[in-house]
Structure 1
Amino acid sequence: MQEELGHQDGVVTVAQLRELGLTYDEIRAEVEAGRWHRVGRKTLSITGPEPSGPRALARRAVWEVGGHACLDGASALIQAGLTGWSEDKVHVSVVRGARYRLVEGVRVHVLRERGRVIGSDPPRTPPEVAALRAATWARTDREAATILAMGVQQRIVAADRLGPAWESSPRSSRRALLGRLVGLVADGAQALSEIDFAELGRARGWPEPDRQVVVRTSRGRIYLDVRFTRYGTVAEINGVQHYSKLVSIDDALRRNEHAISGERALEIPAVGLLLDPEPLLDQVEAALRAGGWPGPDLSCGSGPAEVAS
């Protein structure tokens, strides 16, 4: 039995056992002897009293819910190979009107239109669709941004498929946020976030910086995204490809605190500008003041106080 169904992470269905030629009496005998364990109406664990790991739980979820359920959201991404992310429940989706069962440890999403399903062992939604749904169903905006960025960074989600999937997706409770996130994540570039940074700086009355400055170092030429030359402050706008988790926003804030008192080279996570820009902007402003910037010229109204040389 282990050899025939070893690829199923230690879980099987009664129907599969019957297809292998076992009778109901033989199956019951194995359960009563404690060698196999019931973990649902349809599912047996043949390696221990509980399903062993997230992949086994995913199989159990699809089998037990029924109604042609498939893995969706974060669970579909994990099944596709996403690492560094965990969920307290398995996410599956069914089409509206399907007959399904509620199962402990499983969150069922009833969708008007589910779209394409790939695979069968177990079935799941395509990664680009799963990532957008995972972001929509996430508990917080930060979690939404995290899983979207991680999916692309780990190459579970093809960046060039994310945009089209977003354009054809239905309404989302986070539509405004996700629209901006998809632009950042799918492009893998800093252009959009640099524009955001410039606009936010102008709103605070910062001096205009130099941009894409070429600097020669012992390791060759490097390009600095933003450099306030007169005030000895550099800001690097890092896209999502630099981060495996958005806890890096917090790490950047801590590193910047140290940088302000010495070399003022600040790290600005692009997604941080979208989710919670003020703490990062406060640090840039503190660095500028430490470099001698007197602050905005309030007598001239809003806008840049001066142009850096």
Structure 2
Amino acid sequence: MQEWEQLAERQDGIITLEQALTHGHSRDTVRWRLTSGRWREVHPRTYAVHTGPLLERSAWWAAVLGAGEGAVLSHASAAALWGLGAGPPEISVTVPYERKAPRLRGVRVFRSRHVEDRRDHRAFLPCTRVEATVLDVAVASRTPLAGLALVARAVQRGRTRPDLLLQELDARHKVRHRAALAAVLLDVTAGAHSGLEAAYLHLERAHGLPDPERQAPGAGPGGRVFRDALYREQGVAVELDGRAFHADADTRFRDMARDNAAAVEGLVTLRFGYLDVLGEPCRVARQVARVLRDRGWQGSPRRCGPQCGL
């Protein structure tokens, strides 16, 4: 295998004109490969060296290489690379601020003065660090809940830690939703979850669920416990588990014992974490409403908006 083929293979089938010339091709050879159909242009001076469909990683490489020197995969596309959700059809890349943003088909180009600081130098495909990626997407989110959902997903999937996200947050001067992000990260770092309780309260009211007793006292495996939300008439308890960020075997066994103690009292326990309440609030509301109605609630939940899945 020739050197240019090895390079193209490492770049998921993508090569630039400059790379091809550096690795032994002439401009005439490149032109012949394009006109003969052996290569095809993805972006100006950026080519796929195969004729098959352009897979996601190949499209990412083409966008980064097509955007030029210093470009990195960023925002939602970098989040997809980090395994934090499906990437959107439009690819996002960031280039150094002093450069003019190139126009590439199907690519959104951001400019930043901090590209090099936020770049992950361990990754072969140039991209932003996971902490920078999470903050970039959270800041761009229309609502705090959408940003917090990504924060929860990143930590729960082991991609980063709350303290590292706090460091990234502190390093930025202007951050949309800063208060909400800082509150949840500080909660998680301290082992509390008041931010989660506030999010659940918002979820309840947005979907027309009845008001429960909050921090209701009850009997637990080791004595007195306080249930986060108790719908006493229906015998339903909701436990909000901020520790899901740091779930371990001891925590799971304690939760199991607590839920078993609730069952002895005749309570059905529903347990939700940050990723549930912040990431899928409509699903949580649907589950709570279904159990409440099955156990005698006469009310009706409501949709929180046109996209609500309730």
Fold shared per TM-score above 0.5: yes
- AA in 2 matched with 1:32: T
1:194 shift after superposition: 4.1
1:142 shift after superposition: 4.1
Residue by residue over 1:131-156, the C-alpha shift from the partner in whole angstroms, topping out at 9 and shown as x without a partner, is 10111123444432332222222222
In structure 2, the residue matched to 1:273 is none
Whether the 8 Å contact between 1:149 and 1:244 is mirrored in structure 2 is no
- Where relative contact order (Cα < 8 A, 6+ residues apart) is larger, the structure is 1
Whether the 8 Å contact between 1:9 and 1:56 is mirrored in structure 2 is yes
- AA in 1 matched with 2:293: S
CA distance in 2, matches of 1:62, 1:215: 55
In structure 2, the residue matched to 1:145 is 148
With over 3 angstroms needed to count, the CA separation of the structure-2 counterparts of 1:189 and 1:33, relative to structure 1, is farther
Whether the 8 Å contact between 1:36 and 1:49 is mirrored in structure 2 is no
Q: 5+ unaligned residues in a row in structure 1: which ranges? A: 265-275, 277-309
Aligned residue runs from structure 1 range 179-190, under 5 A:
179-183=182-186, 190=193
TM-score norm. by structure 2 comes to 0.68
Report the more deviating stretch, 129-138 or 254-263.
254-263
Aligned residue runs from structure 1 range 1-309, under 5 A:
2-48=5-51, 51-53=54-56, 55-79=57-81, 81-114=82-115, 115-119=117-121, 121-183=124-186, 190-194=193-197, 209-210=215-216, 214-215=220-221, 225-226=227-228, 228=230, 231=233, 232-239=235-242, 241=245, 242=273, 243=275, 248-262=280-294
- AA in 2 matched with 1:170: H
TM-score norm. by structure 1 comes to 0.68
With over 3 angstroms needed to count, the CA separation of the structure-2 counterparts of 1:230 and 1:177, relative to structure 1, is closer
- AA in 2 matched with 1:85: A
- Secondary structure of 1:261's partner? helix
Q: How many residues align?
A: 258
Residue by residue over 1:262-292, the C-alpha shift from the partner in whole angstroms, topping out at 9 and shown as x without a partner, is 459xxxxxxxxxxx8xxxxxxxxxxxxxxxx
- Secondary structure of 2:280's partner? helix
